[in-house]
């Protein structure tokens, strides 16, 4: 019984740990692959395909992977909007038949800016979620709270067993 209860508590605690870092990196790689494909298509003279890849980089990779939402929630809406504008600029440049070097520079800038935000989200010192003293306290106190609650449940179950003569 004790092992089951401890296993249950550990399972609850581990389920609360965020594995979002892998998702952020995966989303960043998706964005980068769409942008690279768009740049390659633009260099080959396929402007509509390039524009489609730049659009997909935003809608399929950046937005659908949750990167935009995480940046909007944990950094700022203003920063998410600024990153959105970078994707818009890429599409506009492709349709406006900008020079390849200028488009390459804008693609690199977009990837660099998103990478910076992913790094901010991954580092605990930069994470705005931890800047709130209450949230930091709850994050640090949550294992202790789970242990105390588990001990309380264990004590209650033990008392019930003693009363029934088990």
Question: Rounded to two decimals, what is the model's pTM?
Answer: 0.61
Minimum mean pLDDT range among 13-22, 30-39, 72-81, 147-156 = 13-22
Higher pLDDT, 127 or 46: 46
Of 150, 149, 145, 142, which Cα lies nearest the Cα of 7?
150
**Rounded distance, CA 87 to CA 134, Å?**
36
pLDDT tier for residue 125 given thresholds of 50, 70 and 90: low
pLDDT at 139 over 50: yes
C-alpha span between 17 and 57 (Å, rounded): 29
Topology (CATH level 3) of domain 18-125? 1.20.120
pLDDT over 70 at 157, yes or no: yes
Query: What are the Cα distances from residue 164, in Å, to 2, 41, 64, 159, 161?
Result: 18, 76, 55, 9, 5
Return mean pLDDT, the chain.
Answer: 78
* Contacts for 135 with CB less than 8 Å, ≥ 6 apart: 129
Is 106's pLDDT higher than 80? yes
- Residue 31 banded pLDDT, cuts 50, 70, 90: confident
Show me where the domains of the chain are located.
18-125, 132-166
């Amino acid at each position: 019984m004790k092992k089951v209860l401890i296993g249950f508590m550990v399972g609850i605690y581990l389920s609360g740990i965020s594995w979002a870092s892998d998702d952020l990196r995966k989303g960043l790689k998706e964005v980068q692959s769409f942008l690279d494909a768009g740049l390659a298509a633009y260099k080959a003279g396929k402007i509509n395909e390039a524009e489609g890849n730049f659009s997909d980089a935003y809608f399929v990779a950046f937005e659908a992977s949750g990167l935009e939402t995480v940046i909007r929630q944990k950094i700022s809406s203003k920063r998410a909007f600024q990153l959105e504008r970078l994707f818009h600029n890429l599409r506009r440049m492709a349709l406006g038949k900008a020079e390849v070097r200028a488009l390459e520079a804008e693609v690199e800038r977009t990837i660099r800016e998103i990478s910076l935000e992913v790094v901010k989200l991954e580092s605990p010192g930069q994470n705005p979620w931890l800047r709130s003293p209450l949230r930091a306290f709850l994050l640090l106190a949550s294992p202790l709270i789970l242990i105390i609650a588990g001990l309380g449940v264990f004590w209650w179950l033990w008392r019930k067993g003693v009363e029934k003569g088990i």
